[in-house]
Structures are given as structure tokens and as C-alpha cells.
């Protein structure tokens, strides 16, 4: 479903890197020091500044052609966290969400390392301002849906 394109875009875009977002840079296979996590529910926050978690949801019907060809939307939710001792300014999170939306708008027909080509990502709704007591963060979430097609066998 081209999860690879989403993750790679978030961890390699120069604007994200300038803000301190990166993928796993550790050479130790037991360590993941990324501050963009997929399906993360660890016991502690992965960053004392900001981090993003991506949760992959159920798919929904997307496009159906006359020939009964059907392409589903892959849905995902992103959670944007900021350590509350770093800042409690939700506008920083909103600016990050806006940047992510810009990055996703630029992703059209991008081949992924997972054998899928991402056709487009459509932004959905955003949550109210939230607090996560476990991670000691303030946070917001945003929903997205992604249209892809399989282009290679991996």
C-alpha cells in the first residue's frame, strides 16, 4: 500500500530534517531512534522534543470502474506529539501538520520500496487539542487516505 513512500517522505524531506525529524539512524538492530514511528505504543516517548506516530487503519472503497475493477483507499492516522516540557504551543504542532500536508500534496505517482506506487494522499479531519499523559505530551491527530496500486512484486 506504499507505506514506504509515506515514511520515506516524512524522514527525508529537507524541511522535516531541518526540524529534527529522521528515520532510524542507529546501526544497532536492537535500537530504533527514529522520531517518526509506525504503529508505536512503547512505554516511553521516542523524543524529548517532537515526534510523529503513524497508525494504519482499515481500507475503504475508493474507485470502481465499469469493468468491476476496484481500488481501495488505505486509511491512516498520524499523531503529532510535542513534549510538554519542551513547549505547550499547539501552533507548533499545527505548523508541522500543515508542512506534512504540503509534503503529501507533492506525492503523486511515487514508486515505493514496498512494490506499490502511491497515486495520491488526501487529507481528512484533524482532532481537537489533546494531552497524552503517558508520554507527557500535547498532541493532535490527523486522518488521511491514500490511493495506491501494486506495481512490483517484492
Q: Let me know if 146 is exposed, middle or buried by CB neighbors in 10 A (0-12, 13-18, 19+).
A: buried
Binned at pLDDT 50, 70 and 90, residue 67 comes out as: low
d(CA 54, CA 69): 29
d(CA 61, CA 52): 27
Q: Which residues pair with 121 in a beta bridge?
A: 146
Exposure string over 49-63, b if 16+ CB within 10 A, otherwise e = bbbbbbbeeeeeebe
**90-105 helix and 3-12 helix, angle to the nearest 10 degrees:** 120
Contact 22, 38 (CB under 8 A): no
Binned at pLDDT 50, 70 and 90, residue 134 comes out as: very high
pTM of the model: 0.88
- How far, CA to CA in Å, does 34 sit from each of 21, 27, 68, 102, 110? 8, 12, 41, 21, 23
Q: Which three cell numbers stand for residue 124?
A: 481528512
Among 128, 127, 125, 130, which residue's Cα sits nearest to residue 144?
A: 125
Binned at pLDDT 50, 70 and 90, residue 44 comes out as: confident
pLDDT value, residue 27: 83
For residue 63, pLDDT beyond 80: no
**First vs last Cα of the chain: how many Å apart?**
12
CATH entry 3.30.70 includes domain 3-24+31-60+72-150: yes
Amino acid at each position: 500500500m506504499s507505506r514506504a513512500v509515506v515514511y520515506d517522505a516524512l524522514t527525508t524531506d529537507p524541511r522535516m530534517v531541518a526540524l529534527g525529524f529522521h528515520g532510524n539512524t542507529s546501526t544497532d538492530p536492537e535500537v530504533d531512534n527514529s522520531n517518526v514511528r509506525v504503529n508505536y505504543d512503547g512505554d516511553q516517548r521516542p523524543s524529548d522534543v517532537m515526534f510523529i506516530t503513524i497508525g494504519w487503519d482499515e481500507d475503504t472503497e475508493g474507485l470502481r470502474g465499469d469493468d468491476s475493477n476496484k481500488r481501495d483507499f488505505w486509511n491512516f492516522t498520524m499523531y503529532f506529539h510535542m513534549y510538554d516540557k519542551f513547549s505547550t504551543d499547539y501552533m507548533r504542532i499545527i505548523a508541522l501538520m500543515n508542512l506534512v500536508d504540503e509534503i503529501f500534496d507533492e506525492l503523486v505517482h511515487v514508486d515505493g520500496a514496498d512494490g506499490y506506487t502511491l497515486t495520491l494522499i488526501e487529507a481528512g479531519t484533524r482532532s481537537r487539542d489533546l494531552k497524552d499523559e503517558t508520554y507527557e505530551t500535547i498532541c493532535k491527530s490527523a486522518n488521511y487516505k491514500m490511493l495506491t496500486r501494486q506495481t512490483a512484486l517484492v
